[in-house]
Amino acid sequence: MKNNIKNSEKLLRRRWIVLFGGFLLSLMGGMSYAWGSFVLPLAENWGWTAAQANLPFTVMIIVFSLTMIPAGWLQDKYGPRKIAMVGSIIFLVGYSLAALMRFFPYPIWLTLAYGIGVGIACGLTYATIAPTARKWFADRPGFAVSLAVMGFGLAAVIFAPLKKEMIAVWGVDGTLFALGIFITAVSFIGANLIKNPPSNWKAPENVNSNFKVKDVIKVVEEVTPQEFIRTPRFYMLWLALAAVIGGGLTAIGLLTAYGEIELQLAPAFAAFSVSFYSLANGMGRPAMGWMADRFGSIRVMIGVYIIQSSVFIAFPWVATNYLLLFICSLLLGLGYATTFALFPVVVAKISGTKHLGMNYGLVFSAFGLGAITSLIGSWLLDLTGSFTPAFLLAGFATVFGLILLMILYKKFVLR
């Protein structure tokens, strides 16, 4: 009896270590996601166009989202540690090849090395985080998953200034090589810390008597990926994720430009809008997760997306000075935080945890489609010379995702 109590206490401590491992993996993935620091140096020092400088990042996003499907299946089959280890190694390969751009100074080289190599590594490591956290923390899934993936949102805030200094000293290629070494080393640490709980593990029902979990759904049976993709719930979740992600990516791409062009702010000052967005994206994730555990994931998502869509639609008429721009950026960042924090929780509510890696990977593949919304928004800006159509597109895309989630809430989740 005493041994069982000691083992239970040890596992309770262990699960927080696992969560920290997931945070490290998400932080390193977020460093790869934060590409903006490279765009201007590639254009100014390497003679590339803005489109060429952004192409490696665009390809990385698409590869990342598609890799989540096989990566989820692999982590379900072989466990998160092995797959995260492989992803860590591929980080080193991708960044090292990208660093050879001095010898191959062509956009296609960086696109293949960074876009494909780093995209695969991001998919392999990120696919292990949410499913593992959810399995350890059935008692507070929203808070745990959101805390584990918080690093992905914080990376831009923490490392973007550092990247600029590194590029100034070492250039783009030297910075890519240094980042590859650092990201691989930290990812290895995170991979060593992350593992599934024992098969007989059961999370405590009452960790805190004042903490009432409102978001518990009893899953009658574990849903396999083959069964999941044949249900209306999958397609509704997939389209909803694509819609709200499209809005979020549009905001990331246009906030700084809006500040510079419409408000006539200095470039460095206008860039603070993205800093506020990223801060809300990172720090907002555990806050949204905590709220989801108390009030329900779908309820929180619906409330946040009502705010996000309203801000998008009103943005060109509301963001008329730098203070209002920063406030709008914070609110939009919370929407992005909610998306990454709570979608894996909702997938687990609907399909269980046994196949959560691949099931969430299937839903996450919508991230690639969401990137297209961002490209359309930029195209509308070029075509019309106005930010209004782009922000309206992002707003109505969010409304579409919101409607799907409301239908899901009424007909499937809480019936």
In the predicted structure, residue 219 carries a pLDDT above the cut 70: no
Q: Which residue has the higher pLDDT, 203 or 22?
A: 22
Burial grade of 230 (CB within 10 A; 0-12, 13-18, 19 or more): exposed
What's the confidence (pLDDT) of residue 7? 57
What's the confidence (pLDDT) of residue 211? 44
Mean pLDDT of the chain: 85
Rounded distance between C-alpha atoms, residue 76 and residue 138, angstroms: 17
What's the confidence (pLDDT) of residue 74? 94
Please check whether residue 128 is in contact with residue 75, taking contact to mean a CB–CB distance below 8 angstroms. yes
Burial grade of 129 (CB within 10 A; 0-12, 13-18, 19 or more): buried
What's the confidence (pLDDT) of residue 177? 95
Residue 306 Cα to chain centre, angstroms = 20
What's the confidence (pLDDT) of residue 141? 87
Average pLDDT score over residue span 398-411:
90
In the predicted structure, residue 11 carries a pLDDT above the cut 80: no
What's the confidence (pLDDT) of residue 415? 41
What's the confidence (pLDDT) of residue 6? 53
What's the confidence (pLDDT) of residue 221? 63
The residues spanned by each domain of the chain are 2-193, 225-413
Convert the pLDDT of each residue in 350-367 to its tens digit: 888 888 889 999 998 888
In the predicted structure, residue 339 carries a pLDDT above the cut 50: yes
The reply to whether domains 2-193 and 225-413 share a CATH topology is: yes
Give the closest residue to 63 by CA, choosing from 29, 24, 36.
29
Q: Which two tokens stand for residue 325?
A: 């721009």
Q: Which two tokens stand for residue 64?
A: 């990342």
Residue 226 Cα to chain centre, angstroms = 25
Tell me the whole-structure pTM to 2 decimals. Answer: 0.84
Give the closest residue to 344 by CA, choosing from 312, 369, 367, 368.
367
In the predicted structure, residue 277 carries a pLDDT above the cut 80: yes
Average pLDDT score over residue span 48-67:
84
SS3 206: coil
Q: Please, what is the angle between helix 356-364 and helix 232-261, to 10°?
A: 50
Average pLDDT score over residue span 234-257:
84
DSSP H helical ranges for 319-355: 322-351
The pLDDT confidence band at residue 220, using thresholds 50, 70 and 90, is very low
Please check whether residue 80 is in contact with residue 128, taking contact to mean a CB–CB distance below 8 angstroms. yes
Superfamily of domain 225-413: MFS general substrate transporter like domains (1.20.1250.20)
What's the confidence (pLDDT) of residue 412? 64
One-letter amino acid at 373 equals T
Convert the pLDDT of each residue in 295-330 to its tens digit: 888 999 999 999 999 999 999 999 999 899 999 999
The pLDDT confidence band at residue 369, using thresholds 50, 70 and 90, is confident
Residue with tokens 């549009």: 250
SS3 287: helix
In the predicted structure, residue 1 carries a pLDDT above the cut 80: no
Q: Which two tokens stand for residue 120?
A: 């695969």
Average pLDDT score over residue span 241-260:
81
What's the confidence (pLDDT) of residue 363? 92
> Which residues lie below 8 Å from residue 266, measured CB to CB, with a gap of 6+?
260
Annotation: CATH topology of 2-193: Growth Hormone; Chain: A; (1.20.1250)
> Which residues lie below 8 Å from residue 193, measured CB to CB, with a gap of 6+?
17, 18, 20, 21, 24
- Lowest mean pLDDT across 33-42, 150-159, 281-290: 33-42
Rounded distance between C-alpha atoms, residue 235 and residue 253, angstroms: 27
Average pLDDT score over residue span 332-342:
90
Residue with tokens 């928004």: 377
Q: Which residue has the higher pLDDT, 206 or 122?
A: 122
Q: Which two tokens stand for residue 169?
A: 């000293």
SS3 338: helix
Return the ∠ at Cα 164 (arms to 159 and 169), rounded to 5°.
120
Convert the pLDDT of each residue in 12-47 to its tens digit: 778 899 999 999 999 999 888 777 778 778 878 888
What's the confidence (pLDDT) of residue 210? 44
SS3 343: helix
Q: Which residue has the higher pLDDT, 13 or 398?
A: 398
Residue 136 Cα to chain centre, angstroms = 20
Average pLDDT score over residue span 111-122:
95
Average pLDDT score over residue span 129-139:
89
What's the confidence (pLDDT) of residue 155? 83
Average pLDDT score over residue span 273-286:
86
In the predicted structure, residue 205 carries a pLDDT above the cut 60: no
What's the confidence (pLDDT) of residue 209? 40
Convert the pLDDT of each residue in 93-107 to its tens digit: 999 999 999 898 888
Look at the alpha carbons of 120, 141, 275, 371 in this order and tell me if their dihedral is positive or negative.
positive
